[in-house]
Amino acid sequence: MATTTTTDFASPVPSATDNYLGNEKGILSWLLTLDHKRIGVMYLFSVLASFALGGLFALLVRAELWTPGPTLPRVDADMYNQFFTLHGAIMVFLVIIPGIPAALGNIILPLQLGAKDVAFPRLNLMSYHVWILGACFMLLSLVMGAADTGWTFYTPYSTMTETAVIPAAFGAFVLGFSSIFTGLNFIVTIHKMRPKGMTWFRMPLFVWALYSTALIQVLATPVIAITLLMLIVERAFGIGIFDPALGGDPVLFEHFFWFYSHPAVYIMIVPAFGVISEIIPVFSRKAIFGYKFIALSSVAIAILGFLVWGHHMFVSGQSTLAGTIFSAITFLIAIPTAIKTFNWLSTMYKGRIHLETPMLYALAFLWVFTIGGVTGMFLAVMSVDVHLHDTYFVVAHFHYVMMGGSITAFLGGLHYWWPKAFGRMYKESTSRLAAVVVFLGLNLTFFPQFILGSRGMPRRYYNYLEEFEGLHQLSTIGAFMLGLGFLITAYSLLTSLKKKFDAPANPWGGTTLEWQTASPPPYYNFATPPEVNRGPYDGYDTLEYDEKIKGYVPTKA
């Protein structure tokens, strides 16, 4: 094994009192826990609940678009605006941003580092509590007359609308701090808590991805915090910085907003890259191809991601000069992203590919993310963007990246680490079926939107021309298919929780450290602190599958 740790692979299931799920009981032992795994689990279920809520709004939006004009009873255009705003705000701030880093990352990162915990367990818990507070404000906005500004809160509309913008913006403001605390914690953990022998280039790629993400979280999120605070103050007191009615400049808000929100899309996608980089070598039984390039391209994306925010503003009053600069830098982002994709493909080349659920999601990711990424390049061209801006083409593009990229990778990671986190195996056939349904539903939902957009269907519209009806209906069918896929996934995962612990320590044959402790891990993660003497993806040939425990064990010499 890659470490000197000796885990008893033959009897992998720890006793009820020793594993982190069972060592303490009662609701407070969860809410006041300092254990990164428990905090991660709480994040996970909170994020999944938000995902269900955000998904519900998505289905409402899609159902409303079944026919032009009013479709659902009692849903008028204003309410439709609130639906898509809530869908966007919930999915962005409550689901995708915390999804992989705070939920999966919290559970897995210290395990992959062989650490007992993150560097600041109390800060970690506080980050979760802050998240809950932010989520409460989001829900408060829902009750108080949901905002209808779109998740972007653009001024001057957001200073004029009658709806509850302040609670929603304050919710996002608070959630930002939760994200900052998580990022800060991860950076310090990665710097200071690595085990003996784990140099920077022996860290798993998921850790590299979380590190890059954390850099963005710490450097960009405070800007959205102050921007939203300024928006709140603008609305509440009228200070006139963004409000043209007071002599302010609304374009300034867009700059402020996108200075964070463009890097934020990398907060959403870079951890997904990390998950994919974990899954592909394991299920190809082959060391990852181009480790250093994948690791450093994450950092490159994180840094370049700061220099491109203006490509959201090509037609919003930004100057042509700035647009040209931003457009050129946006093209550059394609380079590190393509490096990753090619390396993943090269990893699979001549590998022994196992098509278990996590790998199905990883393959789906490659397909969907490539479409999303390449259409992003179309939009980076200023002259093309002038035509496609604010059409369904943009909607399709970012759903292919966010939904198709981040959520697919999140689901892949969830299935990959589910046995580790909860000690139970889900039913493989059900989950595979769900993965296929999700993949098909996803393409059916969003591919027609590319066509709609290129034909001029504007986004965020309640009504549309009759010629678009067929494509809209295809998209709506796809959305419900997606919903069905998620229901099957939820069924498969949740029913597994009712079983006794049955997951082996290493069900997939992974070589990173988290597979070298029991499933679920004991409270202190490792019986003895691991030491590392080789790369994270070396040594697939030192593992063999043991039918008896249904998991991988070191090859007997």
Give whichever of 120 and 491 is closer to other proteins, judged by the CB atom: 120
| Contact pick of 94, 220, 288, 348 for other proteins (by CB under 8 A) | 220
Q: Which of 175, 368, 401 is nearest to 301 (CA)?
A: 401
DSSP per-residue codes, 250-294: HHHHHHHHHHHHHHHHHHHHHHHHHHHHHHHHHHHTSPPTTHHHH
Q: Are 323 and 310 in contact (CB under 8 A)?
A: yes
524 touches other proteins (CB under 8 A): yes
35 touches other proteins (CB under 8 A): yes
Which residues inside 161-190 make contact with other proteins, applying CB under 8 A?
A: 180, 184-185, 187-188
Stretch that binds other proteins, among 55-63, 100-108, 237-245, 292-300 (CB under 8 A): 237-245
Phi and psi, residue 521, nearest 5°? -70, 155
383 touches other proteins (CB under 8 A): no
In whole angstroms, how close is the CB of 468 to other proteins at the nearest point?
Answer: 34
Size of the site for other proteins (CB under 8 A): 77
Rg of the chain, C-alpha, whole Å: 23
In whole angstroms, how close is the CB of 302 to other proteins at the nearest point?
Answer: 11
249 touches other proteins (CB under 8 A): yes
**226 Cβ partners below 8 Å, 6+ apart?**
256
Q: Are 202 and 534 in contact (CB under 8 A)?
A: yes
Q: Name the DSSP class of 163.
A: S
CA of 189: how far to CAs of 32, 129, 144, 541, in Å? 21, 20, 40, 30
194 touches other proteins (CB under 8 A): yes
Which residues inside 320-339 make contact with other proteins, applying CB under 8 A?
A: 320-322
Give whichever of 91 and 232 is closer to other proteins, judged by the CB atom: 232
Give whichever of 6 and 17 is closer to other proteins, judged by the CB atom: 17
E strands present in 376-426? none
Which residues inside 100-139 make contact with other proteins, applying CB under 8 A?
A: 115-123
Residue window 282-311: x/- pattern of binding to other proteins, with contact defined by CB under 8 A: ------------------------xx--x-
| Contact pick of 239, 386, 465, 494 for other proteins (by CB under 8 A) | 239
247 touches other proteins (CB under 8 A): yes
**450 Cβ partners below 8 Å, 6+ apart?**
375, 392, 393, 396, 397
152 touches other proteins (CB under 8 A): no
518 touches other proteins (CB under 8 A): no
Computed from CA positions of residues 380, 385, 386, 390, in that sequence, does the dihedral angle turn out positive or negative?
negative
**525 Cβ partners below 8 Å, 6+ apart?**
37, 110, 111, 114, 115, 116, 117, 517
Omega prior to 504 cis, within 30 of 0: no
In whole angstroms, how close is the CB of 255 to other proteins at the nearest point?
Answer: 5
Give whichever of 148 and 243 is closer to other proteins, judged by the CB atom: 243
Give whichever of 219 and 487 is closer to other proteins, judged by the CB atom: 219
| Contact pick of 63, 140, 219, 440 for other proteins (by CB under 8 A) | 219
Residue window 451-490: x/- pattern of binding to other proteins, with contact defined by CB under 8 A: ----------------------------------------
- 317 — alpha (psi -120 to 50), left (phi > 0) or beta? left
Q: Are 464 and 67 in contact (CB under 8 A)?
A: no
